[in-house]
Amino acid sequence: MPDPGGTSGAEENVKTDTSARLFEEALKYIPGGVNSPVRAMKSVGRSHPLFIAQARGAHVGDADGNEYIDFVSSWGPMILGWGHPHVLSRLHQALEDGTSFGAPTAPEVELARLICAAVPSVELVRMVNSGTEATMSAVRVARGFTGRDKIVKFVGCYHGHADAFLAAAGSGVLTLALPDSPGVTKATIADTLLLEYNDSEGLEELFERRGDEVAALIVEPVAGNMGVVPPRPGFLEKARELCTRYGSVLVFDEVITGFRVAWGGAQERYGVIPDLTTLGKIIGGGLPVGAFGGRREFMETVAPVGSTYQAGTLSGNPLAMAAGAATLSVLSEPGTYERLEALADRVALSLREAAARGERPVTLNQVGAMMTLFFCDGPVESFADAKRADTAAYADYHRHMLGRGIYLAPSQFESMMVSLALSEGDLAAAADAAAAFFAA
């Protein structure tokens, strides 16, 4: 790979011809030219996305030969960086043994054992193929277990694209939900009740009024899809207490936070244990994966033990299981999370120091190895707060950083993901790039 930033530190001098041509071709065959909306990079003002061609360690290279220090980490999974020798070794062996069987394999048992040992709430776990499958299945289990229909979710928390989760706040009572996407019917989200994230008082009021209807409360224990928003003190504890009091199932969506903010996820970090947990990203070591698990009494309602149906032909794919097991085995080594958090703290400190030299209002939210720099005054504790951010300013920042060879998430409302592969040189380059932006 060439040096970070391509031929120049200025974004206009970074080569883009091949990515532009590939995007033009992709538009003929793929809706919007991308297979997930945020990849289009429209929110940061780019006419076309980067087409990534290769990666190694903490660096990614695009189809034009530009190299970038990466703080996206494939949206979280690449916590070890790319090309970790243990992960590659396990993947090569899995490729030789066979890529898919639709039958049980030893690696899925190995990965399940590692997850159950690490995540406090998980006694049994079922592998699926995506985070959306995991959250959809967890809610089905909760409804089957309780015999109730309603679910509570929080505005700005993203739990995948299943219809029941694509609800937006409507007018009228705080619990009224409206479809947030064409194709989602009012009937589909009629059982979805909405609140602002971190609103403990509103949560208590909702349960006092409708708690005996609530099958599940699903929440990102650290919000990661409105930017990183930590829970206020007492918020997760209140959710736990209310679910216990009213016989509802508490579901933590740890697809992002699982194995990123601690070995046992956010539930370990905050000491609040849900009934069910959904996982993804890191547990696949960079391959497509999802999982849901929890206490035995809930998970034994799932077929073939129980009557709540869930299935998947490629669930437990041996490639994803091998890569995931290899990744978790590395993460389980003593001192790994201390080292990861020390790296993240250094990134956060450099951003705070850079921002202090400028006049732009910014707020940095950080939990472990994930953080977001919001271009607004703080605090940012809810989706309403996050929406105050100046997205045009973030687009300027993204453009500047990309020109300096730093690849950030192409949206104000996503997270920087720190990986263990970052070097001293990478940290220095990122700090210098941020300092240059805020000094301008």
Cβ-Cβ contacts under 8 Å for 156 (sequence gap 6 or more): 196, 197, 223, 225, 226, 229, 382, 383, 386
- pLDDT of amino acid 3: 44
How does pLDDT run across 190-216, given as a tens digit for each residue? Answer: 899 999 999 999 999 999 999 999 999
User: How does pLDDT run across 147-195, given as a tens digit for each residue?
Assistant: 999 999 999 999 998 888 888 754 333 445 667 788 888 888 889 999 9
* Amino acid present at 40: A
Q: How far is CA 209 from CA 79, 174, 178, 186, 220, in A?
A: 42, 12, 20, 22, 23
List pLDDT tens digits, range 100-155: 999 999 999 999 999 999 999 999 999 999 999 999 999 999 999 999 999 999 99
Strand bridging mode 370-374 / 59-62: unpaired
Q: Which residues of 234-263 are buried (b: 16+ CB within 10 A; e: fewer)?
A: ebbebbbbbbeebebbbbbbbbbbbbbbbb
Distances (CA, A) of 339 to 6, 79, 199, 335: 30, 12, 33, 6
* 14/68 Cα distance (integer angstroms): 11
| Mean pLDDT of all residues in 92-104 | 96
Q: Determine the Cα–Cα distance for residues 324 and 346; give it in Å rounded to an integer.
A: 27
Report the greatest alpha carbon distance in the chain. Answer: 62
85-331 CATH: 3.40.640.10
Helices (H), 119-167: 131-146
Judge whether residue 98 has pLDDT over 90: yes
What is the pTM for the complete model shown?
Answer: 0.94
Question: How far is 138 from 182, CA to CA, in rounded Å?
Answer: 24
- Domain locations in the chain? 11-70+335-439, 85-331
The fraction of the chain above a pLDDT of 90, given in percent, is: 88
Catalytic residues: 158, 253, 281
pLDDT digits (tens, 9 = 90+) for 366-379: 999 999 999 999 99
pLDDT in tens, 305-353: 999 999 999 999 999 999 999 999 999 999 999 999 999 999 999 999 9
Separation of alpha carbons 413 and 325, rounded Å: 30
In the CATH scheme, what architecture does the domain 11-70+335-439 have?
Alpha-Beta Complex (3.90)
